[in-house]
Structure 1
Amino acid sequence: MPNMFISSSALRPFLLLACLFAAVSCNQSSDGDAAATDTTATAEVPEQKLVPLTKETAVDTLTAFGKKHQDSLAVIGTRHGEIKVRLYKDTPLHRANFVRLTKAGFYDQGEFYRVIKGFAIQGGDSDERKMSQGPYKIPKEITPRHIHKRGVLAMARYGDDENPEKASSSHNFYIVTGHPITEEELRAFEERHGIKYTPEQVQTYLEIGGEPGLDTEYTVFGEVVEGMDVVEKIEQEPVDASDWPRRVVKHTVKIVEE
């Protein structure tokens, strides 16, 4: 399975990479696929065959697709239940990419393969995938409007050494569960990242928590509107030493009407 690694430190995890296990290749066209079973969400019939993208074709293709497909509501189905997410329209490339892969059935071949309690659940890949999305990244659409509050949907990426432009993974996503935040922690993150939270954002972090250490580093492009209880159930899954659930948590994704 392509790697996605979430590192931890005393200041909380703040590096989320597009690769999880070093022993396995990342973002290759041979990505595995696992059709989700025992789920409450019904997989959407693929709209068309998924044409793999490249770094040269990705932006133009996603831009054109996004203009044609204005969908912004999706349901992630798992054996624990459904998670409904709203995709932000002010991150158009990430929204278009998620919708495009969903309509092609790509995400129906994935699973939540990394779970870190009090931080995030991460999905999109599987050892069994046969469908290829192509070797591309999504240009960052990081905006101070979208913080890593509890329940947001964001894309993983490679680290700064090999990805200084902070471009996102083509397909690996995560949902933040997070932890309680104090105002002192927020002020420390403001200084470290050179940002200033609005009073509303401060209140949001204080009331529901999240992962401010990820702000300005990864593109947030949506949020859970129903089903955080399902996210919490996945978060409680027993995991191995690599944070991989001991029992596979397959997922499907479908686009639904507003």
Structure 2
Amino acid sequence: MNKIFLTVTLSLFLTSFGNQAFAQTVNLHDFTNPTVILETNLGKIVIGFFPADAPTHVENFIKLSLSGYYDGTLFHRIIPDFMIQGGDPNTIDGDPNTWGTGGPDERINAEFNTIKHNRGIVSMARSADPNSAGSQFFIVHKDSNFLDEQYTVFGRLVTAESFETLDKIAAVQTDANDRPVNPEDVRITKVTIVNESDIPNLLELSEPERIQSIVTPSTGNQKYESTEHEIAFSVPEGWLLQQPDKSQPNSPDVVAVGPKIGEINPVISLTVQLTNQRSLDDLISEKIEIIRQAVESGNLNVISQEKITVHGNPAYAIDAEGKFSSDGQSYNVKFREIMVYGDEKFYTLSYSNGVNEFDSQLSRFEETIDSFEILTNPNQNNTSQSDENQEGGGCLIATATYGSELAPQVQQLRELRDNTILSTESGTAFMTSFNQFYYSFSPTIADFERENTVFRELVKFSITPMLTSLSILNYVDVNSEEDMLGYGIGIIVMNLSMYFLAPAIFVYSLKRKFL
């Protein structure tokens, strides 16, 4: 199975676990600014607290520490560059398959606050229910601000040794389920409570970094928006939202992992890829070929496949199930995948889960699809957007140079147009008339460029001198309307024959000959 199902996950589903020591009476008033010291074979971890932000969580953690609840437990889930998780009594001597499911009978209501989940922050694990924290906690190894306001921050590391120990634990060898291969290396051997004033070499820490917002009422979903990919969509609230490193083109760009209620965690992912001028049918053919190989190998069974639309965009949906193996275990997985086709990119939204649990979260995936939108670039003005939104994708220059060594030059000239030509009234008036005429024929040429690669290369060759001459605007000062008329419009007019006549005449003559 793709490792994403097994390793990019944070098990937060805590089940009932009784512990008589929890009921032990303690006197917290004996301490001034209490601080907890966790001793491990790799070093000490010293935790200070934020009682004003999460008073119930701080009290709960200190009570459990005083009672000996954490003595002998492991950091049972370790994901470098993300977090280390501990606090499960099942890890003392229980079956490793139960690690991550233990905790006290009593649960704590959420105390979400504005403290960011930066490196060294200590936060409380929970299940999909916000009010389900028990004893399990995690320490952030690398800034993970997608967790902000969804998990209760209640403390942070306060000594240099603590950060060194955090790094050592994050670096230990783990298996496919993120469990430590050598558990004794990461066992909490002893927990003590002292006053903050008794800690030597205490770091001089400033106030924790906070987000500039307040917790809003729950809507049942959390929204993800990316200016890089120009998309936005929602995933179920409480699911772990991540942006993993993109190791290969078809690796997910965004992953949301839900709480594990069956043999695997439910996963919703988004993969963004360039169309490279392939049509939707081309992409479907490639997908079918990949699927065919999996079906013939006996690893996959296709249930259904069909063309659909998603908010007016053409799309392709496929449902399938298969058996996947990882680390000696087999999993029966079902998935639904929807490929949404855009102008220059296509977006693959996928939902996977165990076969028996698939339907339980399918409606959440449908909500994600309903929320999916392709955003326009907020930095473009109306004229820039008209370049991309003409029917047929009508900019013949952009089409001819797309993906080539000239593409950066074209982009620079667009920025030059937006920031220089359109900064004057005369330039704006000229470009408005210019575009009306240009787009009366350029979509036809652009479409033919997509169909005929030889013609595309000829157009690219013919416009190269024009692009060079337009670049002159990079080296002149346009400080007035007269300068704009003298330089900008003059250069464009100088190139009219290459801009219009040569491509237009050539394409129409070819169409009459071959079509």
TM-score range with shorter-chain normalisation?
Answer: 0.5 to 0.7
Pick 1 or 2: higher relative contact order, CA cutoff 8 A, min separation 6: 1
The structure whose Rg is larger is 2
Aligned-residue sequence identity (percent) comes to: 31
Q: Do the aligned residues in 2 keep the contact of 1:168 with 1:218 (CA within 8 Å)?
A: no
Q: Do the aligned residues in 1 keep the contact of 2:45 with 2:166 (CA within 8 Å)?
A: yes
Aligned to 1:50: 22
Aligned to 2:76: 113
Aligned to 1:216: 149
Counterpart CA distance in 2 for 1:140 and 1:70 is: 25
Counterpart CA distance in 2 for 1:65 and 1:115 is: 33
Aligned to 2:195: 257
2:117 to 117, 140, 148: 148
Q: CA deviation at 1:76?
A: 1.1
1:232 aligns with 2:167: yes
Counterpart CA distance in 1 for 2:123 and 2:149 is: 12
1:18 aligns with 2:18: no
Counterpart CA distance in 2 for 1:136 and 1:85 is: 23
Counterpart CA distance in 1 for 2:150 and 2:46 is: 24
Output one character per residue of 1:94-133: Cα deviation in whole Å (capped at 9) or x when no partner: 1100110011000103110000010000001133369x96
Aligned to 1:80: 42
Counterpart CA distance in 2 for 1:135 and 1:157 is: 13
Counterpart CA distance in 1 for 2:29 and 2:195 is: 17
Show structure 2 runs of 5+ residues with no match. Answer: 95-101, 197-515
Aligned to 1:175: 139
Q: CA deviation at 1:168?
A: 4.3
Show structure 1 runs of 5+ residues with no match. Answer: 20-25, 32-47, 53-60, 179-209
Name the Cα RMSD after superposition: 2.9
Runs of 4+ in 1 over 3 A off after TM superposition: 5-8, 64-71, 126-130
Q: Do the aligned residues in 2 keep the contact of 1:65 with 1:96 (CA within 8 Å)?
A: no
Aligned to 2:87: 124
**TM-score normalised to structure 2 length:** 0.32
What SS does structure 1 have at the residue aligned with 2:16?
A: coil
The structure-2 alpha-carbon separation of the partners of 1:171 and 1:6, relative to structure 1 and needing over 3 Å to count, comes to farther
Q: CA deviation at 1:167?
A: 1.9
Q: Which has the higher helix share?
A: 2
Counterpart CA distance in 2 for 1:112 and 1:133 is: 14
Counterpart CA distance in 1 for 2:150 and 2:87 is: 20
1:243 aligns with 2:215: no
Aligned to 2:66: 103
Q: Do the aligned residues in 1 keep the contact of 2:16 with 2:105 (CA within 8 Å)?
A: yes
Counting matched residue pairs gives: 178
Q: Do the aligned residues in 2 keep the contact of 1:150 with 1:176 (CA within 8 Å)?
A: yes
Q: Do the aligned residues in 2 keep the contact of 1:66 with 1:93 (CA within 8 Å)?
A: no
What SS does structure 2 have at the residue aligned with 1:107?
A: coil
The structure-2 alpha-carbon separation of the partners of 1:223 and 1:148, relative to structure 1 and needing over 3 Å to count, comes to same
**TM-score normalised to structure 1 length:** 0.61
Output one character per residue of 1:66-89: Cα deviation in whole Å (capped at 9) or x when no partner: 677665311111100101110111
What SS does structure 2 have at the residue aligned with 1:86?
A: strand
Q: Which amino acid aligns with 2:22?
A: L
